Every structure is written in structure tokens, then in C-alpha cells.
Structure 1
Amino acid sequence: MINKKDIFDMVTAAENDADQALPGLTQSLNEALAGEGVVHTPEQILLKKVRRKLGMNQIDFAELINTPVGTLRDWEQGRIPPSGAAITLAEILLMHPDLAKEIA
């Protein structure tokens, strides 16, 4: 079982590794330990990152990838996982954002 000393040790190790203070890390770890806070999946982070990199809002990005905007919102908010095809397309667009113009 993780206790407060373990959290302190993890924060100290992470900050030492990063060579800087990491504000909010202690609070985040305490929330995770208590089963509180917000959890983001790698897929959610990927989709938002690609959309923002392309400078698109949800409506425009959903149109680009030929997906209903409600579905994109569900993916980004973690209500349902995106398909493998959507993840692959997002990874491609992240590496090659210029392809968005060709897709459009």
C-alpha cells in the first residue's frame, strides 16, 4: 500500500530526475491514491494534441477525419475509446501535419 512517505519519495525522485520542482505533483499523486482527480488516456492526449497542432476546433477536425463531432467529443472526453483507424490517422497527422491539407 502506498503511503504519504512513498508519495514524498516519488515526488523527490521525480524532481531530482527533472532537475526542477514539479508543482502540483504531490497533489496529483495524492488524488490518484485517493481515486480522485481526472485521468487522461494516451488516446485522448493524442487526439487533442493533433487537433491543436493543426490549429483546428473540434468541428473542423471532425469534418477533416470524416467523423461526427459528437464522436470526436466522446473520444476526447474519454467516454468511448477511438477506433484503431482513428488513432493511426492521428499518429500520421501528428508526424505529417501537412497531409491535413491534402485530406481536406
Structure 2
Amino acid sequence: MAIPADPNDPEDRAVSAEGREQGQRARLIRVTGTNLGLSQAEFASRFRVPVGTLRDWEQARVMPPDFAVAYVRVIAQHPDLVAKAVA
């Protein structure tokens, strides 16, 4: 379901269901890195994600695939275990 633009805000625009999902995924990735106290570069290095890919996901330029979202959810719950597994 799309979210319509606010008619009282000339800068607002409608958001598609896909756009909303992409934004939620981007937020999950940003919040996970922030909660771990890691910069983009640190997060990317620690969890073996190309920094450009991570940046695109965080800025909602590219929709993170389902496996990446699952990976980030596991990282959020067990960051040290994941870091050890990918080292």
C-alpha cells in the first residue's frame, strides 16, 4: 500500500510499498551499526560487507536483499559471534 503525499507539503511525495520497505531495511542497517558504535567503514570491515554496498543500503539507494537483512539481524543479536565466524 502506498503512502500518499501530504497535499499541504509541496516537497512531500508519495511513497510506494517497495519504497517504504527499502526505507525500513535501510534504517535497520543504520541503527544496527550505530547501536554497535561502529562507523560504516568499521562495520563493513568487521562483517565483510563492501563499504560501497553498505553505504548504498544505508542510504536506501539499493534495496538490501533478504539474506542481507537476515545477516544484519543476526549481527544485531550476536555481533561478536558473527565477527569471529567471518574472521
Using the size of structure 2 for normalisation, the TM-score is: 0.66
Mapping of 1:1-104 within 5 angstroms? Answer: 30-31=8-9, 34-35=12-13, 41-103=23-85, 104=87
Q: Give RMSD over aligned pairs.
A: 2.8
The Cα shift of 1:31 comes to: 4.2
The Cα shift of 1:98 comes to: 3.6
Unaligned runs of 5+ in 2: 1-5, 15-19
Sequence identity (%): 34
Residue type matched to 1:49 in 2? V
Residue type matched to 1:35 in 2? R
Unaligned runs of 5+ in 1: 1-28
Distance 1:31 1:90, change over 3 A: farther
Equivalenced residues, count = 74
The Cα shift of 1:53 comes to: 1.4
